[in-house]
Amino acid sequence: MGILSATGGSSVERARNSVVIASPNEEAKRLRAEKSSQEGIRAGFKAAAIGAVASAVPTLIAVRKIPWAKANLNYTAQALIISGASIASFFITVDKAILTSARKQSQAEYEKRA
């Protein structure tokens, strides 16, 4: 006898046998959330690409021209500078896009009720 047999089965089995019926609005909410996530990811990738180029060009030029950078920034440091900028721009843009989408959605629901 295991824990699952003693408790009556897994939660997946209980959910299948449940009498609770999902609201028709739940599927629409899930689709809106998925759509806003996809839009955020798409915008994030665009921002990350722009951020990578915007940080790569000055970094590479500085390593070739500035004596301090030439002496102290090896390939790993250059890669960390470039990837750090692109990762930060990705996450900031995704967060901003998802929050904007959620704000628009909540305003639309509020106006629909009023």
Is the pLDDT assigned to residue 46 strictly greater than 60?
Answer: yes
21: CB partners within 8 A, 6+ apart: none
| Burial of 69: CB neighbours in 10 Å, binned 0-12, 13-18, 19+ | middle
Residue 3's pLDDT is 56
CA distance 61 to 86: 18
Please give the Cα distance from 101 to 93 (Å, whole number): 12
Task: pLDDT band for 53, please (50, 70, 90 cuts).
Answer: very high
Altogether, the residues listed in the chain come to a count of 114
Q: What is the mean pLDDT of residues 77-88?
A: 95
- Alpha carbon 45 to chain centroid, angstroms: 10
Tell me the average pLDDT across 38-53. 95
Q: Which amino acid appears at position 68 of this protein?
A: W
